[in-house]
Amino acid sequence: MSLKSPVSNKLEVQLFTDGACKGNPGPGGWAYILRHVESGTEREASGGEANTTNNQMELQAVIEGLRALTRPVNVEVITDSQYVSKGSTEWIHGWKRNGWKRKVKGQLKPVKNEEHWRALDELLSRHQVSFTWVRGHEGHPENERCDELAVEAAAKMA
């Protein structure tokens, strides 16, 4: 999926992300590759936390990648997390409408990982963002690299 920039009429940035966790909860890691499409320039980053969940690390990877951007741009986020993809494009609107609550068996309950979702929501508002879901561990080169970096970061937290 491509984005149209109002200036260049081209996609500007691709953000490949992944998260990993040794145990859930347990030591976790996140990683991203940020690619400027026109120049091909890439930047990798990763990090981790001692006690976290896989979903939190998936979210943190996108948060950190978007934080690395120095100006508003068109961004295609490529992730193997349907939780992040659907959460960012479908579910978040209802959560916000309901005061960061989700419906569970007809009742409103707090959104899990609310602090991460709030941080991501603020960053999404700065950029024109689309999400592309890819199947994990299926040979997608950038997804595989992000997985490798996230697993390494998680191992350092153990």
Residues with a catalytic annotation lie at 18-19, 58, 80, 137, 147
Q: How far apart are CA 18 and CA 11, in angstroms?
A: 21
Q: How far apart are CA 143 and CA 154, in angstroms?
A: 16
Distances (CA, A) of 18 to 34, 45, 108, 133: 12, 11, 29, 11
Q: How far apart are CA 117 and CA 111, in angstroms?
A: 9
